[in-house]
Amino acid sequence: MAKKRSSTESFMTLGHIALAGWALVVIVPLLWTFASSFKTNSEIFGDAWTLPGALRWENWAYAWEHARIGKLMLNSVVVVAFSTFGTMLLGSMAAYVIARYKFPGNRFFYYFFISGLAFPVVLGLPSLFLIVRNLGQTPGIGDFLGLGTTPGLVLVYIAYSLPFTVFFLTAFFKTLPHSVAEAAMIDGASHTRLFFRVMMPMAKPGLISITIFNVIGQWNQYLLPRVLMQGRSGVEDKYVLTQGIAQISTTAGYEAHWGPLFAALTMSIIPMIVVYAFFQRQIQSGLTSGAVK
């Protein structure tokens, strides 16, 4: 018995060391980035494990003005706001009729949406690039939907977010009770009214999870803007944050502004920490909900 106790104790010690070690592996790089944001170039290329000589907020100012971190974030906010809203609206409409209405082709439409999950985005990428490029040459709509346009990017985000959203919400709408819907129909509510006034409020928990999932996924999207946000004059002004950060990292090299690069990184990490601090439970369940289903 004594032997077992001591082995359990050494097991616990081992566990504590491993957990604390990994926590450091996560936290130290983030703190180091924060510290480096105040460093001069020579401090940055000196010993990594020294603190900055002074709090040089001018690095932050430089990143904000010249690297246009504020502008990049605003672009990302605009893109994600519209695309998540569009994804949720269109996704829940499709999922709702597929889950709750009997009509010919119901199964077909279900598989039509969710089979997109089996295809990697990269497969369609060359043709998607050409399609969006050709849209850009179409008179009238070209300036809105072609390469390097924000609405064009938003529509692509929505389309590629639909399969998972429809998959998740179809399952969710199926779990909602039928009695409430029947009562509303007897009271003379139209189908549309039933959806917006009764079913959407009832589906709130599911909608919140998948909204968080889409916001984070679209905020962090890099492949699509990397390929689609180009080929138009002034497109740099429309870059999203992920694209901008990748670009800053290359320009920091030849313009030798390393402190501001770290300031830019810190500024893009801080909002995530703030959001996470407030919504960590919802974020964890929202992101893992995909795997649990």
Partner 1 sequence: MRHGKYRFVAGFLALPVLLYVFYVWVPFGYSFYFSLTRYRGTDVPPVFVGLDNFTTLFTDTPEFWKALTHNGVILLIMPLVTIVIALIFAFFLNVGGKAKGGVTSGVRGSKFYRLVFFFPQLLALPIVAVLFQSIYRPDDSGLINGALNKLGLPKIGFLIDTNIALLSIIAVMVWQAVGFYVVLFSAGMSSIPKEIYEAADLDGASRWTMFYKVTLPLLWDNIQVGWVYLGIAAFDVFALVDVLSVNRGGPSFSTTVLSMEVVNKIGAGNYGMASAMGVMLFFCTLTFAAISLRVTKRESIEY
CA pair distance 51, 132, nearest whole angstrom: 48
**Is residue 202 close enough to count as binding partner 1 by CB under 8 A?**
no
**Is residue 171 close enough to count as binding partner 1 by CB under 8 A?**
no
CA pair distance 279, 81, nearest whole angstrom: 18
**Is residue 153 close enough to count as binding partner 1 by CB under 8 A?**
no
CA pair distance 49, 145, nearest whole angstrom: 48
**Is residue 216 close enough to count as binding partner 1 by CB under 8 A?**
yes
**Is residue 284 close enough to count as binding partner 1 by CB under 8 A?**
yes
- Cβ atoms of 64 and 70 within 8 Å: the answer is yes
- Cβ atoms of 261 and 249 within 8 Å: the answer is yes
Q: Which residue's CB is nearer to partner 1, number 81 or number 131? A: 131
**Is residue 137 close enough to count as binding partner 1 by CB under 8 A?**
no
**Is residue 283 close enough to count as binding partner 1 by CB under 8 A?**
yes
- Tell the smallest beta-carbon distance from residue 159 to partner 1 (Å): 4
**Is residue 97 close enough to count as binding partner 1 by CB under 8 A?**
yes
**Is residue 47 close enough to count as binding partner 1 by CB under 8 A?**
yes
CA pair distance 121, 160, nearest whole angstrom: 8
Q: Which residue's CB is nearer to partner 1, number 203 or number 216? A: 216
- Cβ atoms of 199 and 129 within 8 Å: the answer is no
**Is residue 288 close enough to count as binding partner 1 by CB under 8 A?**
yes
CA pair distance 266, 199, nearest whole angstrom: 41
- Tell the smallest beta-carbon distance from residue 180 to partner 1 (Å): 18
Q: Which residue's CB is nearer to partner 1, number 143 or number 271? A: 271
Count of residues engaged in binding partner 1, rule: CB under 8 A: 94
- Picking from 290, 211, 261, 231, the residue whose alpha carbon sits closest to that of residue 62 is 261
Distance of alpha carbon 11 from the chain centroid: 38
Near partner 1 by CB under 8 A: residue from 6, 8, 138, 251: 8
| Tally of residues, the chain | 293
Show the CA angle centred on residue 271, arms to residues 268 and 273, nearest 5°: 110
Q: Which residue's CB is nearer to partner 1, number 22 or number 57? A: 22
- Single out the segment in contact with partner 1 by CB under 8 A; choices: 54-62, 64-72, 170-178, 184-192: 184-192
**Is residue 108 close enough to count as binding partner 1 by CB under 8 A?**
no
CA dihedral (92, 97, 100, 104) positive or negative? negative
**Is residue 111 close enough to count as binding partner 1 by CB under 8 A?**
no
- Cβ atoms of 116 and 163 within 8 Å: the answer is yes
Interface map 221-260 toward partner 1 (x if CB under 8 A) = -xx--xx-------------xxx-xx-xx-----------
**Is residue 51 close enough to count as binding partner 1 by CB under 8 A?**
no
